[in-house]
Amino acid sequence: TAITTDNNRTEVRCADGSVYEAMDVICTLPFSVLKAITIDPPLTGTQAQAVKSVPYQAMTQVYLAHKSEFWKEDGYAASMYTDGVAGMVIAARNGEDPDEVTSFTTWAMGPNGHRLDALPDADAGRYVINEIEALRPAAKGQLEFIELKSWGTDPYALGGWAYFRPGQVNELAAGMSAAHGRIRFCGEHLGFKSRGMEAAMESAERVAREIIAR
């Protein structure tokens, strides 16, 4: 719930009342979550503005099992991209055989993600399956709902990833990752060469080098 820093130490206070002290804090919280955390002394300037205003992409994933290799019936690739609530329909290959499709994950983003978030999980899964079946008749009756993950409603994420509105790159990007006292920031939102997990690792390496070099 709070992070305090001065020239010599840092303190982190958690919702359960526990308190942790250290020389440094490496904060990987997305800005969507960080803006609800009290920081003392407060962030200032473009960094404070970035935490308050950089938006996060709504993203809801639906995980599906398949009963048959229906894509071989219609002759199309197992994965497909749609502009509806199914979003990206991605065939996962997580088994020992790299060619074997082991499951499917759909990615609904933005307004489509919000539509799914408004439904009970099972209903959202059925909604997605119905859309896939309408677009791809060979899939009819061949998909089963396993689970749903809404990154937009996860209290520790509140979105899939950060993105910039027009003008925010020039206005905010340079100051977003600056150290604040003994608090250092990293995460997918603070990479400059890549996005996603690669950006998270890039920014983590930067913070590690900064602390080692101090």
Residues of the chain with pLDDT under 50: none
Distance CA 128, CA 113 (A): 11
Q: Where exactly are the structural domains of the chain? A: 2-55+161-213, 59-150
Distance CA 63, CA 162 (A): 23
pTM: 0.88
Work out whether strand 2-5 and strand 38-40 pair parallel, antiparallel, or are unpaired. parallel
Residue reference for tokens 């600056």: 178
Distance CA 193, CA 190 (A): 10
CATH of domain 59-150: 3.90.660.10
| Residue closest to 162 by CA, chosen among 185, 131, 128, 129 | 185
pLDDT at 64: 99
**CATH classification of 2-55+161-213, choosing from 2.60.40.420, 2.40.50.100, 3.40.50.1390, 3.50.50.60?**
3.50.50.60
pLDDT at 6: 92
Please tell me if the domain spanning 2-55+161-213 has the same topology as the one spanning 59-150. no
User: Tens digit of pLDDT for each residue in 20-78?
Assistant: 999 999 999 999 999 999 999 999 999 999 999 999 999 999 999 999 999 999 999 99
pLDDT at 195: 84
pLDDT at 214: 80
Distance CA 146, CA 22 (A): 42
Distance CA 124, CA 67 (A): 20
In DSSP notation, 40-99 reads ESPP-HHHHHHHHH--B--EEEEEEEESS-THHHHTS-S-EE-SSTTBEEEEE--SSSTT
